[in-house]
Amino acid sequence: MADHPVDEKLPPLKMATTGLQHVAAMYAGVVAPPLIVGAAIGLSATELTFLTGACLFTAGLATFLQTLGIWKIGARLPFVNGVTFAGVAPMTAVVASTDDKSDALPVIFGAVIVAGLLGFVAAPFFSKAIRFFPPVVTGTVITLIGISLLPVAFGWAQGPSPTADGFGSATNLGLAAITLVIVLLLRRFTRGFVKQIAVLLGLIAGTLLAIPFGVTDFGPVADADVVGFPTPFHFGAPQFQIAAILSMCVVMVVSMTESTADMLALGEIVDRPAGEKTIAAGLRADTLGSALSPVFNGFMCSAFAQNIGLVAMTRIRSRYVVAVGGGFLVLMGLCPMAASLIAVVPRPVLGGAGVVLFGSVAASGIQTLVRASLDKDNNVLIVAVSLAVGIIPIAAPEFYHAFPENARIILDSGISTGCVAAVLLNLVFNHIGGRERQAEDVTHPMEAGGELTEANRAAVTP
């Protein structure tokens, strides 16, 4: 019997190029947290480069755990793992509350180690929530993942940061638009292998086109060392402070919730639905990767949702392709010069490609919702309210400004709040009170429940 596409081993060249495409899609997301935290601490350029390389290295190790797996660890799905952005706010809070900034990273690393080990123990219990994720829930969450990621692409399209020169300029937006058009044209008019690496080719073309506009910076390549290794506990032995540990445990819960949703999403896309055992194994990989990451000076790791869009678009489902991408991440961590090559790609170019990648995730969610029996009033209301709750942090970023910082870690994640809302509403409408509630069909979500007659169907059918 032929291997499932997830377990397929592609030709070497195809594995390398498609694996590199995954790295290109997630690179900015991996390096952003160490850059933000390192800047808050006041690290020198050399130390900041070291911290960034360490996060790339540990992302590669975590990706190996997730894709290849050992024992009951690893979902063995095409998942890229990297630094979770959910930890940025509490980590910068730790930095602000630490008098001696040289102690900030050891305190953060100690908190991440404890949170990772506790998460590893909790993984099999957390995974039992799978039965509360029917298509109406998973479809909503997958859609929210895509919607939540799109603002990241829009931000990239404007430039490196709001304080950078030319942020939001016509040049930056034009480069993003050109990159998007190139990717679309390649997807429309090419076939086979070229079509599958359209995003990578678009990134290369966009980078070359950006050179005359002075947006492409080759400085990182010239300044980078050829070889470098993330020495264990380079910034000092881990320190264990209760407040920091509690805040990172909250981040771990958020990360595990999002990873569960990501695994469900990817399972649907690759046609290998993620069951309880798969989710437990995947969460073990996330949490163990997080616990090991600080040893090599990295932060908490989690599955990267943006790469789900790449799998959905290219239809290359092999986990070994992503494992090769993990190999590239490890090499980048060991060779700063190699890492700097990806850094050359201008943010606007990444933004143009990101529109396709992240939009594909949302489209996959809509495809799942098609199977969610939306002719039932219960399910329509679940989707409507959950999407609204999940979009709050995107549409109104300051909506929860009056809440405590620890609460905002959860509330400011639309994926987490939307996921929790969808699960709770599914329980209330489709489980509590008996099965008779599930049989109610209506013509409009705000109408009273009741079975549609043939006459009613004819009245509402165009």
Eight-state DSSP code of residue 276: H
Cα separation, 78 vs 217, whole angstroms: 31
Cα separation, 236 vs 234, whole angstroms: 6
Share of the chain above pLDDT 90, in %: 15
Determine contact, residues 438/376, Cβ cutoff 8 Å.
yes
Count CB atoms within 10 A of the CB of residue 316.
23
Structure tokens that stand for 220 in this block: 């990182």
pTM to 2 decimal places? 0.67
Cα separation, 181 vs 353, whole angstroms: 9
Q: What is the pLDDT of residue 340?
A: 65
**3-state DSSP call for residue 163?**
coil
Q: What is the pLDDT of residue 387?
A: 93
Cα separation, 210 vs 310, whole angstroms: 23
Cα separation, 206 vs 237, whole angstroms: 43
Pick from 55, 105, 452, 457: nearest CA to 290: 55
Cα separation, 91 vs 405, whole angstroms: 12
**How many angstroms separate the first and last alpha carbons of the chain?**
46
Q: Which residues of the chain have pLDDT under 50?
A: 1, 436, 438-439, 441-462
